[in-house]
Amino acid sequence: MSAEVLRAPGSDPGQWFTRAVLRNGPLGGLVALVVVMAVLSRDFLNGQNLLNVGVQASVTAILALGVTFVIVSAGIDLSVGSVAALSATVLAWAATKEGLPVWVAVLLGLAVGAGAGLLSGALVAYGRLPAFIATLAMLSVGRGLALVISGGSPIAFPSSVGRLGDTLGGWLPVPVLVTVAMGAVAALVLARTYTGRAMFAIGGNEEAARLSGIDVKRRKLVIYALSGLFAAVAGIVLAARLTSAQPQAAVGYELDAIAAVVIGGASLSGGSGKASGTLIGALILAVLRNGLNLLSVSAFWQQVATGLVIALAVLLDTLRRRSAR
C-alpha cells in the first residue's frame, strides 16, 4: 500500500502550514512585525515605548470594536470618528459650559453616541438606505454638530473625566485598561448574547435570518447603537488624552477602525469576526506606525505601508474563505 493512501486527508505538511497561516494570520502578522521592528530599532522593545504603542492603539481599538459589530452583520459605519468627536464635545460642553454634574455629562455624551448610531441604524433598517450612504450622512451631521456646539474651538475637559488619559502607578495607562474592558464587553456580546448570534446570522444570510425568526430591523438598530456607544467611549478617551474636547478630533479614524477590523480577520462580506482579532488588528497598525516613526520613515511612506498591510489582510481573507470551501 502506498504512502499516499496511508496519509490521512489534510495531513499534507504544505496544506497544514497554509491553513495554519490563514487561520492565525493576524496574530502571526503581529508577532512577525514586532520581531522585525525589534531588529531594526533598539528602542522598540523599550518598556515605555511598548506602553506608548498600547496608548496609541487604544482609541482606534475601541472604535474598531464597535465597527466589528456592524461589519459582522455585513454593514459598514463611516460615522464613528465624527460621533466620537461629537460625544466628547457634548460631554465637555454640558459639564463646562452648562455646569451639569460630571456624571450627568458623561451619561449625556454616551447617550449622544448611542443615539447617533441608533439614527444611522434606523436609516438603514427602516429607511432602506445603503449603510454606506446612511453613515456617510451621519459623518457629516456629527462633525457639523460638534462644530456648532463648540463654536469651532476646543472645550476644556472636566478634570475628573480627564483622568482616563492618565496612568496608574506612574506606568499603567488608563486608556489601555479601558480598551481591555471594552474588548471584554465586545467579546461577550459577540459570543454570549442573542444580539451577537443575530449579527453573525444577518451577516451570513440576511434573508435566512429573517425567515428563521430574527427581527432583522430591530437587531440592526441595536447593532448600530452599539457602534455609536463604543465610538462615544473612544471619543471620551481621546479627549481625556488631549485634555480638551476638540470638534475636529478623530478625523479619518473611521478608516483606521475599519482597517483594524479587516486586518483582524473579519470579512467585509459579513458573517465572521472576533473582538480579539480586532484588537490584534489595531495593535498591528499601532506597531507599524510606531516602528516607522522610530526609524524616521516619512509620514507619506507610512501611509503607503498602511495601505499595503490592509491590501494584504483582504487578500488573506479571500484566500481563507476559498480554503474553507
pLDDT tens track for 78-104: 999 999 999 999 999 999 989 899 999
Judge whether 321 lies within some domain.
no
Judge whether 302 lies within some domain.
yes
Report the CATH number that the domain containing residue 273 is assigned in CATH: 1.10.3470
Q: Is 293 exposed, middle or buried (0-12, 13-18, 19+ CB in 10 A)?
A: middle
- SS3 (DSSP) at 172: strand
- Cβ within 8 Å of residue 236, ≥6 positions away: 87, 88, 91, 106, 109, 110, 161, 164
C-alpha torsion sign, points 124, 133, 120, 285: positive
Q: Which of 30-39, 106-115, 158-167 has the highest mean pLDDT?
A: 106-115
- Cβ within 8 Å of residue 264, ≥6 positions away: 26, 64, 68, 273, 274, 276, 277, 278, 279, 280, 281, 282
- Cβ within 8 Å of residue 299, ≥6 positions away: none
pLDDT at 261: 95
Judge whether 21 lies within some domain.
no
Judge whether 93 lies within some domain.
yes
The overall average pLDDT reported for the chain is: 90
- Tracing cell 522585525 back to the chain, one arrives at 36
Nearest Cα to Cα of residue 294 among 3, 48, 28: 48
pTM for this predicted structure? 0.90
Q: Give how many domains the chain has, as a whole number.
A: 1
Would you say 254 and 235 are in contact if contact means Cβ atoms under 8 Å apart? Answer: no
Judge whether 15 lies within some domain.
no
Mean pLDDT of 192-206: 95
pLDDT digits (tens, 9 = 90+) for 219-252: 999 999 999 999 999 999 999 999 999 999 999 8
pLDDT digits (tens, 9 = 90+) for 41-81: 999 999 899 999 999 999 999 999 999 999 999 999 999 99
Name the residue range of residue 208's domain. Answer: 43-315
